[in-house]
Every structure is written in C-alpha cells, then in structure tokens.
Amino acid sequence: MLKIIIPTIMLIPLTWMSKPNMIWINTTTYGLLISLISLFYLNQPNDNTLNSSLMFFSDSLSAPLLALTTWLLPLMLMASQHHLSKEPLTRKKLYISMLILLQLFLIMTFTASELIFFYILFEATLIPTLIIITRWGNQTERLNAGLYFLFYTLMGSLPLLVALLYIHNFMGSLNFLMIQYWIQPLPNSWSNIFLWLACMMAFMVKMPLYGLHLWLPKAHVEAPIAGSMVLAAVLLKLGGYGMMRITTLLNPLTNFMAYPFMMLSLWGMIMTSSICLRQTDLKSLIAYSSVSHMALVIVAVLIQTPWSYMGATALMIAHGLTSSMLFCLANSNYERIHSRTMILARGLQTLLPLMAAWWLLASLTNLALPPTINLIGELFVVMSSFSWSNITIILMGINITITALYSLYMLITTQRGKYSHHIKNIKPSFTRENALMTLHLLPLLLLSLNPKIILGPLY
Amino acid sequence: MKPPILIIIMATIMTGTMIVMLSSHWLLIWIGFEMNMLAIIPILMKKYNPRAMEASTKYFLTQATASMLLMMGVTINLLYSGQWVVSKISNPIASIMMTTALTMKLGLSPFHFWVPEVTQGITLMSGMILLTWQKIAPMSILYQISPSINTNLLMLMALTSVLVGGWGGLNQTQLRKIMAYSSIAHMGWMAAIITYNPTMMVLNLTLYILMTLSTFMLFMLNSSTTTLSLSHMWNKFPLITSMILILMLSLGGLPPLSGFIPKWMIIQELTKNNMIIIPTLMAITALLNLYFYLRLTYSTALTMFPSTNNMKMKWQFEYTKKATLLPPLIITSTMLLPLTPMLSVLD
C-alpha cells in the first residue's frame, strides 16, 4: 500500500516546487499515474486474503473505493483550474495541497486494517474538507456550512471512539482481519443496544441518514467544485464503508435495531427525492439526490443479505461517479453565469451541444438507466428489500419514479426549450471540461461491461 | 522591571516549583508553594494598573487559602499517621482536604472562578506563566497522592470543570479569558484520569503545556488580546494564521493532531475501568471547546476580516519580536500523533 501512499505524500512537494505554470499539469499527471497503480488492487482473488502489511490491507470492498478516490484527485484538479486562476500562486498551491492531503487521508482510511486507525483517519478527513469549504467557498453561508459539517460528524463519531475502545478491551484487538474469526453473537441488553447505536450513529450521520442530513445540502452547496466532488463522491462512501465493516461485529442485534433506521431511510429517500422536484438551486438538487441514493445504501447495509451488500457496493461506486459528474456539470454552468439558479440558464442545448450530451448521459445514469451500474446497484437493493419485506416495493417503486422525474426535470430545465436571452454570450465549453466529463463517464460506462469488480466481497 | 530583579523573581518561581516537586516532607512542599506564590505576584503586577492589582489580589487570596487548606490536611495526616513523608494518605478527611486545596490551586470547578478574572487582568506573558508553569506544582502533588484520592470527588470536579470550561468560553471575545476557560477544561480532563492512570495525566499536562505555550507565543507575536485584533493577522503574518488554525484544532482535540492523543488515551483508560457514560459525556462537552476555538480560526485564518487600509502595509515591515522556540513548539503541539506507540516506554 505504500506504493500508493508515498507517491501521494510526494505530490505535496511537487506542488510547492513546480514552476508556476506547471503546477496543474504536474499534479494532474502524477495523480493519474497514482490512480493507475491503485487499479492493480482490483484484481482480487476470490478468497479474500489480500493483506499487504501490518497496517494496511485491501479486499474487494475497499479496492473499488480506493480506485474511485485516486481517480477523483486528477478530476478535482482539472475541475478547479478555472475558479482558482485569479488567485495568487501561494493560495493555489495551498488549495492543491489541501486536496492532496485529503486524498492521502482517504486512501489510508479505505485501506486501514485496524479500526482505531480507521477512526483517526475518518476524523482526519474532516479537517482539509473544512478548510476547503470555509476558505474557498463563495458565499457567506459557507461559515455556517463548515460548522454544521464539522459538528454533526463529530457528535456522531465521539461515541464511536468510546465504543471502539470498549470493543478493543472486550475482544483484545481491533485488527479487522482478526476479529472476523473472533466474533460472538452480541446478546440483547440495554448496554449492547447503546453499543450498537454508538457504533452506527457516526456512519449514519456521514451517509447521511434522513433525519441527520441537514449538514449535507449546506456543505455541498457552499463548497467549491473540488470540495463538492470529493464530498459527494467519496466522503459519503466513508459512511457506507464503515457501516459495512462494523456491522460484522454487531449481529444479531441488527435484526431489530435496524428498524428505526430502515423506516427513516425508506421514508427519507422519498422525501428527499420529492424535495428535489421543488428545488431552484441546481447544486442543492444534486445534494438532495445524493441523500436519496445514500438512503438506498443504508437500507441495503442494514438488511445484511449477500445481494444487498453487492447492490450497496455497486451503488456506492456508481453514485460516486455520477454525483461528481453532475456537480462538475453544475459548476460549468456556475462558472459562466455565476449563479446556481436553474432557470437562469435554460436551453443550453442550443448553445453548448456537446455539454448537453454529457448532461443527458449524466441524467440518464442518475435515474439508473439499464445497463449502467447504477441500475445494477438499485435493482439489487430493490430486490433484496423486497425479499426482506414485500411492502417496501411500493416505496422503492415510488422512489425510482420520482428519481426519474427530478433527473429529467433537471435535464429539461437546463438543456431543453428556448434559451434565455441573456446567456447568448457565454464562453463555449473548454476542452478541459469535456475531458473532465469523459473521464467521469468512461469508467461508468465501461464498468457496465464487467460489473463484477465493483460488486464487493460477497460476489 | 530591572533585569536583576526579574532574574531573581523568576529563579524564585522556578525554585519554588522545584522544591514542591522534589521534596518528600510536607512542610517543605508548603514552603515551596508559598515561595512560588509570593514570587509570582510581582510578575502578575508587571503593568501597574488597578486591573492587575485586582487580579494579583484575587490570585493571592485563593492561593493562600488553598495553601492553608493544604497545611490543615497535612496536619490531620500527621495526627493520624504520625509522619511528614509524602505517601499514601490513610485518613479520608485529610485526603479530601488536600484534594480540595490542590484543585483550588489548579482552578478546577467549583473553584474555577478566579481563573478567567486573573488571566484577564495580566499581560500575555504573565498569563502564559500562570496557565502553564503554575499547574506543574499542584499536579505533581496530586500525582504523588493519587492512590488515596477520593475518586468520586475528583471525577465530579473533573466533569463540572469540563462543562464549565466549555460553556464559559462560549461568550468570550477576549483571548486571555478564552485561554483561561480552555485551561479549566483541560485541567478537568487531567483530573479525571489521575486516580486511574496518573501517567496519562502527565502526558496530558505535557501536551497541554506545549500547546498553550505555542498559542500564547503566537498571540504575543501579534500583541493581540482580543479576537478582533487577532483577525488582523492575515495582513501582517499570513503564515502564522495557518499556524493558529492548526493549533486551535489541536487544542480542540481533533485527530490527527497531537491534541487528540490525551483525549484518546484518557478515554481508553476510562473505558478500561468500565466507565462508559463519563468519557462519552466529556468527549461531547469538549465539542463546546472546539466551537470557540473554531470561531477564533474562522475570524483569523479562514476569512479575511475587513481592515483599514493602513493595515495592509504592515506585511512590508520585518517583525522584530522574538518568538523563542516557536517552530519546535508548533511541531510538537500538532504533529506528535504518529508517535503514540512510543507511549509504551512509559510502562
């Protein structure tokens, strides 16, 4: 694993010592090279024994997320070039260093083999994200957004620290590979119920669960583009990954403890999808759509069947790429008209037809069109929740319909129809933007040819 | 103050603390405390204004009362055990009296009322000495009598200190008061673990002193005592604003900075002793602390506060204030977390 971590650390001296006109090129190129290295880990033998060292390991669950994280860094750098072009050189280098630092912490989080190490890095990812949102966001609301983001996550995760230390005392070690063999069923008692809650609430807040999702629209909307991309694509998946790792310790309590969270997720996904239909702010729409998709992941992880785990993993990867692409598209709008209101820039298909093609593909993947991996994820989750309880099919069906509705609403409002007359003089699409969209879309479409690499450890 | 006098007074302060830490006779410990207190009064009154006089008087009164209480506890211990040597205190009354006296010296709740007012009335340098060096002596005595301290009393004091330190600092804009409430909260964390694992208390004290020293030095570099004047720092020393950001997050106990080490270790020791609710409560209340540190960083590092036009010229001048040992202090206050496995040498 050091072959990924040390090059990522060395990206920081690379930014600080490059010539001023080469900082973006250097970091993006080497970031892409690092993501090539991470692709090696996708070749997993099926017996789940890939263990690199004492501290790091990777299995079929963390390898796709690792590949997603390393793939996203060059994309974030490409997306940020425009809005940082007017800043002084030191601030550009600081921004890039924050992104690289965040990348480093995320790589270590996804490959951590000990749960306390995972916890420390889980919290460590908060600091660069906070700095990116609060320092480089654009509106005054970003201060509040940073506060909500930090404190919601910390309130959830401090009980997790206590719970992990308690489990450490109880089991002897928190090395994930070892505790798989020492798991005993958790008896039903009040203190074990609180243990379950303490373990899961951190990840529920991070996912986010419907009742605790208030930080997400604020943080996603106020963050600059790279911040939004990494938040939507990777940081939410930290919650899903953590939940999948820690539910192995918490059986059989999950059978009945999951009910309140299942209810919140099932209801919440419909609620947040419906809110999307009434949004005027483009980034806010994409943020609420993230909540809705992640609610599906929560339902899948709490059901704990093989198909649902496969669906959750596939959905996480698919949603990561799709959501990040949607944020990039929204940002390309924002950079031209400096407003996030959807109806201000309508009918863009006439003005920027290639970008309209990317909008179309992004919206189609967002509404889970076959044969994309979004569909595979959603379908597996719907099927497994149907087998858990037949009635959920109604709610899932309503959700799929409303998802289609708001994705098409977003597409039609921004792309179709007559253009608004004041946007005739926007700049045409940069090659950088088109490359960005291609790099998002290509993995998404290629993965539908071989989805088994993202289906996780239970394939 | 004339240099020879300053040297003598500083030497007396240090000698006083050394006498407290190194002696095994209770009378000498009391003498050390009194030496320390009397010598620090002129330091507290370096600027001769009524506010400083009020601060020194309050400090003198509380510390003298605490020393007398300590002497009473020592005498009761002498009555019941017949010896002056510092060792396990067999009589619970003596133990409670000594604990109360020492926590009064430290500024733990419910004896915390003097800390903000004294810290506010004195200069930044004196405040730094007050909040760092003066904590060493009482803490060393608590370490030595730790097997016989009443756990319930100390845990109650610790919990209320963390709560007071968190809530009291929320409404403050004066930096010295903020650091005072931060000191109350950190002392609370230290007091919580003394009876279970005193080594962690020493770890927390060391890291707390390092972080507080760095913070005060950064404030002194800027000569700022209010949040508003701190917020002009981006004009003068933009690099130091990033240092303030990292230091404040470290004081708040965020991983992966070294301020997280004591909190992690303390929660680990408390959970080993089957206490689950108390560390959870303490950890969540520490978030209040984090809130007002974060507010400081918001105004200093993460936003560019509006300032008058003549402020913007200040970056052109070289600064001549000496920041003694600032780089090593900042590095030890923020980047020590990867060295946590080295704590095993303390066993």
- Identity at B36, one-letter amino acid code: N
**Closest-CA residue in chain B for A152?**
B287
Sole residue written with tokens 């001048």: B317
On the 0-12 / 13-18 / 19+ scale of CB atoms within 10 A, A305 is: middle
> C-alpha B208: how far from its chain's center?
7
**Average pLDDT of B55-64?**
95
Report yes or no: B210 and B150 within 8 Å, Cβ to Cβ: no
Report yes or no: A309 and A248 within 8 Å, Cβ to Cβ: no
Residues 99-138 of A with CB under 8 A from B: 105, 119-121, 123-124, 126-127, 131, 134-135
Six-digit token pair at A86?
């007017």
**Average pLDDT of B190-208?**
94
Q: Please tell me whether residue B218 adopts helix, strand or coil conformation.
A: helix
Report yes or no: A239 and A290 within 8 Å, Cβ to Cβ: no
What is residue B342's predicted lDDT score, i.e. its pLDDT?
86
The two most distant CA atoms of chain A are separated, in Å, by 68
What is residue B194's predicted lDDT score, i.e. its pLDDT?
94
**Closest-CA residue in chain B for A143?**
B298
**Closest-CA residue in chain B for A167?**
B271
- pLDDT per position as a tens digit, B288-334: 999 999 999 999 988 888 888 777 777 777 777 878 888 899 999 99
Q: Which of A162, A173, A197 to mutate to test the interface with B (most CBs of B within 10 A)?
A: A162
What single-letter DSSP state applies at residue A367? T
Count Cβ neighbours within 10 Å for each residue of A261-290 and write b for 16 or more, e otherwise. Answer: bbebbbebbbbbbbbbeebebbbbbbbbbb
Question: pLDDT band at A320, cuts 50/70/90?
Answer: very high
Six-digit token pair at B269?
């020791």
Average pLDDT, chain B: 91
- pLDDT per position as a tens digit, B232-273: 888 888 888 899 999 999 999 998 999 999 999 999 999 999
* Overall residue count recorded for chain B in this entry: 347
| Shortest Cα–Cα distance, B302 to chain A (Å) | 5
User: Percentage of chain A with pLDDT > 90?
Assistant: 72
What is residue A324's predicted lDDT score, i.e. its pLDDT?
95
Sole residue written with tokens 């749960």: A115
Report yes or no: B242 and A135 within 8 Å, Cβ to Cβ: no
Q: Please tell me whether residue B25 adopts helix, strand or coil conformation.
A: strand
**Closest-CA residue in chain A for B256?**
A124
A150 touches chain B (CB under 8 A): yes
**Any idea where the domains of chain B sit in the sequence?**
3-345
pLDDT value at A45 more than 70: no
With an 8 Å Cβ cutoff, are A134 and B283 in contact?
no
| Shortest Cα–Cα distance, B142 to chain A (Å) | 26
Residues 6+ apart with CB under 8 A from B58: B114, B117, B118
**Average pLDDT of A375-379?**
94
pLDDT value at A359 more than 90: yes
| Shortest Cα–Cα distance, A116 to chain B (Å) | 10
Q: Which residues pair with B174 in a beta bridge?
A: B226
Q: Report how far residue B32's alpha carbon sits from residue B221's, in angstroms, rounded to the nearest whole number.
A: 32
Q: Which of A25, A72, A64, A70 shows the shortest CA–CA distance to A43?
A: A64
With an 8 Å Cβ cutoff, are B271 and A162 in contact?
yes
What is residue B189's predicted lDDT score, i.e. its pLDDT?
95
A301 touches chain B (CB under 8 A): no
Q: Report how far residue A446's alpha carbon sits from residue A450's, in angstroms, rounded to the nearest whole number.
A: 7
Q: Which residues pair with A281 in a beta bridge?
A: A341
Question: pLDDT band at B145, cuts 50/70/90?
Answer: very high
* Facing B287 at nearest CB: one of A124, A155, A168: A155
Q: Which of B257, B294, B336 to mutate to test the interface with A (most CBs of A within 10 A)?
A: B294
Q: Which residues of B touch A126 (CB under 8 A)?
A: 254
With an 8 Å Cβ cutoff, are B256 and A123 in contact?
yes
Q: Which residues of B touch A198 (CB under 8 A)?
A: 280
What is the dihedral angle through the alpha carbons of B99, B100, B105, B107, rounded to the nearest 10 degrees? 110
Report yes or no: A327 and A229 within 8 Å, Cβ to Cβ: yes
- pLDDT per position as a tens digit, A250-284: 878 888 889 999 999 999 999 999 999 999 999 99
Output the CA torsion sign for B39, B43, B48, B54: negative
- pLDDT per position as a tens digit, A98-133: 999 999 999 999 999 889 999 999 999 999 999 999
Q: Which residues of B touch A150 (CB under 8 A)?
A: 290, 294
- pLDDT per position as a tens digit, A392-411: 999 999 999 999 999 999 99
Q: Which residues of A touch B264 (CB under 8 A)?
A: 161
Q: Which of B81, B236, B294 shows the shortest CA–CA distance to A145?
A: B294
| Shortest Cα–Cα distance, A425 to chain B (Å) | 33
Question: pLDDT band at B60, cuts 50/70/90?
Answer: very high
Residues 192-231 of A with CB under 8 A from B: 194, 198
- pLDDT per position as a tens digit, A204-214: 999 899 989 99
| Chain B contact residues (CB < 8 Å to A) | 245, 249, 254-256, 260, 264, 267-268, 271-272, 276, 279-280, 283-284, 287, 290-291, 294, 298, 301-303, 337
Average pLDDT, chain A: 91
What is the dihedral angle through the alpha carbons of B206, B209, B215, B221, rounded to the nearest 10 degrees? -120
pLDDT value at B151 more than 80: yes
On the 0-12 / 13-18 / 19+ scale of CB atoms within 10 A, B316 is: exposed
| More reliable by pLDDT, B247 or A53 | B247
Q: Report how far residue B338's alpha carbon sits from residue B345's, in angstroms, rounded to the nearest whole number.
A: 15
Report yes or no: B201 and B262 within 8 Å, Cβ to Cβ: no
| Shortest Cα–Cα distance, B253 to chain A (Å) | 11
* Overall residue count recorded for chain A in this entry: 459
Question: pLDDT band at A52, cuts 50/70/90?
Answer: low
**Average pLDDT of A150-157?**
93
Q: Which of B193, B246, B250, B271 to mutate to test the interface with A (most CBs of A within 10 A)?
A: B271
Cβ neighbours, 10 Å, residue A418: 8
A161 touches chain B (CB under 8 A): yes
Report yes or no: A213 and A153 within 8 Å, Cβ to Cβ: no
**Closest-CA residue in chain B for A153?**
B287
CA distances from A140 to A98, A99, A144, A222 (A): 21, 22, 8, 9
With an 8 Å Cβ cutoff, are A191 and B256 in contact?
no
pLDDT value at A56 more than 90: no
Six-digit token pair at A105?
């912490």
pTM (two decimals) = 0.94
Q: Which of A266, A293, A306, A307 shows the shortest CA–CA distance to A396?
A: A266
> C-alpha A164: how far from its chain's center?
24
> C-alpha A16: how far from its chain's center?
28
pLDDT value at A427 more than 70: yes
Report yes or no: B189 and B158 within 8 Å, Cβ to Cβ: yes
**Closest-CA residue in chain B for A192?**
B276
Q: Please tell me whether residue A388 adopts helix, strand or coil conformation.
A: helix
Q: Report how far residue A3's alpha carbon sits from residue B344's, in angstroms, rounded to the nearest whole number.
A: 29
**How would DSSP label each residue in A15-80?**
HHHS-GGGHHHHHHHHHHHHHHHHGGGG---TT-----SSSB---TTHHHHHHHHHHHHHHHHHHH
- pLDDT per position as a tens digit, A64-77: 999 999 999 999 99
**Average pLDDT of A348-377?**
93
Q: Which of A212, A288, A224, A245 shows the shortest CA–CA distance to A59?
A: A245
Report how far apart the first and last C-alpha atoms of chain A are (Å, whole number): 24
Which ipTM score applies to this complex?
0.92
With an 8 Å Cβ cutoff, are A158 and B283 in contact?
yes
* Facing A166 at nearest CB: one of B255, B271, B302: B271
What is the dihedral angle through the alpha carbons of A80, A82, A84, A87, rounded to the nearest 10 degrees? 170
